[in-house]
Copies of this chain bind each other. A is one copy, B any other.
């Protein structure tokens, strides 16, 4: 068979972090980048093109044995067309649609009775029954964009005027947010990592703790069952993040992502097989790797752009202070609030690990100066 050629559409940090396992496995890689300054394109000789342009997608696909994605922005019709032309696309267009169209996801999951917040697609304010309510753009939202907590009809009208229609979801009084990463291969091999607690601030994930602290076996099992049910139902190939609301141990599905995800970054240092390696194994139909933990806890913190435009100089202080700190700098231009990197520490003292992560991200963002 020889090493296949894997095409990744998208060249952000997720593609960049896929380079190491792709190189280790000796996979021939092709990357379609929107811009030569994209994180992965800085390190890999990528094709520069427009993922919304079908002709360019087809030309790119011709170079690849298997095509996958690092984002959900390729129009679903384009993905279907690639499949019709005989290209192997993983995950498939029909699986991908669940991450591209939130109404489709809710409807599809409801059909197999998966636990979800109450939901309704609305096109007019009159269709909204009560406030406050969560309104979500049907497609295109991430990192808090396209999601609003709406308190009254005026705010709802603003959102609907902007989006045309929206997914209205019951506001859940959750205790915390969780995420579980799962991988599935065409051979139907499935593997999950431990459940992760994700800490959000203003709709953006700032910290993850793996495994989620104080999680009962029953709730962990429930998360795994939900992820496996989704994977089977949508015919997942690759890795998927399932974001969950934890309401007193009862889980409700918030969002899914059909690709490596921020809530799985800890797996680079924290698990035998990272989400990036596992995604490659899955889409190439190789046996999946062990997802065993390498330490008791793994804590990840996102570095959000702040006042410092230079993310390199902080290393002098941070690396001297914490020789075990692992930094991932995405090589992006620093803009306020933008995810420009992440840090991970692993060990056995969770309180201390969280303090070290907090210090590192605050220092890199310029929130603190020493």
- Produce 1/0 per residue, A318-338, CB < 8 A to B: 011001101111110000000
Contact A43 B24 (CB under 8 A): no
Closest to A309 in B: B2
Cα distance A341–B26 in the bound complex, in angstroms: 9
Contact B294 A294 (CB under 8 A): yes
Contact A43 B19 (CB under 8 A): yes
Interface size on A, as a range, is 35 or more
- Beyond A1-B312, A44-B44, is A324–B292 a contact (Cβ under 8 Å)? yes
Considering only residues 172-199 of chain A, those with a C-beta below 8 Å from chain B are none
- A316 on interface, CB distance cutoff 8 Å: yes
Cα distance A330–B23 in the bound complex, in angstroms: 8
Contact B312 A24 (CB under 8 A): no
- Beyond A313-B1, A319-B281, is A290–B324 a contact (Cβ under 8 Å)? yes
Give how many copies assemble into the complex.
2
- Beyond A44-B45, A281-B319, is A26–B287 a contact (Cβ under 8 Å)? no
Looking at chain A's contact residues, the main secondary structure is loop
Contact A23 B29 (CB under 8 A): no
- A289 on interface, CB distance cutoff 8 Å: yes
Contact A324 B272 (CB under 8 A): yes
Closest to A323 in B: B290
Select which of B16, B26, B319, B326 is within 8 A of A329 by beta carbon: B26
Closest to A292 in B: B324
Contact B323 A288 (CB under 8 A): yes
